[in-house]
Structure 1
Amino acid sequence: MFERYDPRNWSISWDYLVEALVAIGAAVVAALVLHWLLFVILRRITRLSANPADDIVVKAVRGPVRWAMIGFALSIAAHADALDGRAWDVATSYISPALLGWVAYSLVKGLSAGWEAKLERADDPVALRSQRTRIAILARTVKVAIIIITVSLVMLNIPGVRDIGVTMMASAGLAALAVGAAAQPALKSLIAGIQMALTQPLRIGDLVKVDGQAGRVEEIRMSFVTVRTWDERVLVVPTSRFLDQSFENWSRINEQLTGPVMLHLDPATEIGPIREEFERFVKTCDEWDGRTATALMTEAYPESIELRLAMSSATIGNLFTLRCLVREHMIEWLREEMPDALIRHRLEVEAANARAMGEA
């Protein structure tokens, strides 16, 4: 048994320093050897599995487990009186919860990353987005809970904080009201995030339209959702917005959509040739999926008619490109083949000017 060292005595003997260093070195070496043996066994086990998630989880927890084992080894050495002094016991009371929280956080992070890697083999993109969204939200919820619990355990070792907790327990009614009122936004966001994971009105990668802005969902957090538009802007929308109000999800089931190109033509225009040219051109486009290609007159006004050219694509990006190609081609074809179909109000002004000059 080592001679107990009194921390109130400021004279530190060399014998104590040597004994403490030897105890620390022995504990660290033992922890590192045990850690090495443990992960050698785990790596051999993961090699036998074809699932890539195993390797990701082991890699994620390797570093935190190493430091946790070192901390526990020092704690065991301190309790065995190899390390003398109350300072070691106080230090381990703070370090142990922090290390356990770090290991748990890394384990959840590794499990979520491994699950996502396993899902990359899925052929259904809609199911992939659904699973990725559920994993991201649930993993983030668990990680927030781990952080809160870890910080609480560390702070409870502080005498002043512990006394405050006892006082709050004595006045539980008032404290509960105060904490409930202060935590209401956080609880609402937490519940909204969990509800988003379960019901999934939108998922990571979905194309949505919110407040007149369309974009891809990049990230779903407890309190907000980020949507990136076509011009690289990022919309930050509260999570509760998607649960309390309506929005458009253009890829809820799949990305197959039908989009229009509107042509405003002269009322005397013959529709048959335009329909034939539209159907001929669409069939030559790789972006067309073969489902829809129709040309219908949807409105007729005294000075114009409205012709809707509807076409479909397998993805939203292809649909946008197809609409642009059809719009450009049809305007060019009308200008060359049926120029009288295009509305030119400026011709009326020029004719009126010519008549006025003739009368003069």
Structure 2
Amino acid sequence: MSFRISLSGMNAATSDLNVTSNNIANSKTTGFKQSRAEFADVFPVSSYGLSGNAIGAGVKLARVAQQFDQGNVEFSGKALDLAISGEGFFTLSDRGTTVYSRAGNFGTDDDGYVINPAGHRLQVFMPSTSGTGFDTGRMTDLRLATGDAPPQATRGVEVGTNLPADASVPTVAPFDAADPSSYNYTTSLTVYDSLGAAHTQSLHFVKTANANEWQVHSSVDGTPNGAPTTLQYSDTGELQSPAPAQIALPAYDPGNGSAPMALELDLAASTQYGNSFSVGLLAQDGHATGRLTGIEVSEEGVVEARYTNGVSTPLGQVAMTNFANPQGLQSIGNNSWSETHASGEPRVGYAGSSDFGMVQGGALEASNVDLTEQLVNMITAQRNFQANAQMISTQDQITQTVINIR
């Protein structure tokens, strides 16, 4: 009996060493979660139950419990490196089978899908069809868009100028854009047609003979774009007319096959103060074709593609999953887990909501293995093994003594 008890102790110590060895071997594995060997004592049970003087029958390995403590977040600078700070798992697809991981060392395959080193595809919530937010009821593989961002034709132009209150009427009339003596001030900006081609819109301001009254002339690429518009300011310098301060210009055909440009000037920020001309606001809502320059991931897990034209397009929001009992998950290798009955049903969400942590882009979660602790565990397990081996040696000596009795 005592031989079996000591043997169970040696087996338990060996299991403890194996678990410790695995922890140490994965001390540099991204997203690895260390395990702990947990043991239980063994008592023989007869048909009469346990006796009050029963002697234990040794020890057994009750379970190997994974410890899901937070690992250190280490910055890498790589856009597709993701780290979870807090609870939750990345949701991945392994050829249609859903698996989970804390390792965020992602890259792309030859089709542009975002994958981990094992080829599992990262799952995201798609942008909603309404154009705002994400459809959290629909997950799909994250695929990076590698094509150009389409252009957007300019529709609205905001102009915020200050026209001097003491300006004089130009000496030359009528207005001629080629003659600076026929107007007081001018400014220009770049606008875009439906094909993304750039055009120059020029605005010329002409003081009239009437008090606090100006005219603004618009042209695109040197071609007049509609009749001049009269601007009337109050005696406190605020724009009174037109009201509202939006001027719809006639459609302009660039002649390059694009749709006619329908521009609308917004002069609400225009004033007539002091004795100097200034431009405080000059903006338009169009842009040219853009090339992909990079990927950004926000703390909420929103993946955006950035383009050379300044446009950022959301590609999806990282889908995260959590469980009532993460220790019940089944480790399947490649830094991944699968759900089991013991883990409970998966709860799907996104970073920053409910009990989910935040996502850190350009960083990785390191292994949560403490090498010093593991080395101490190794020494302890070694001592336990030696002590149980010594017990077997002692029992052998006792047995030999009994055999040698004459």
TM-score, normalising length: structure 2: 0.25
More helix by share: 1
Instruction: Choose between structure 1 and 2 for higher RCO, CA contacts under 8 A separated by at least 6 residues.
Output: 2
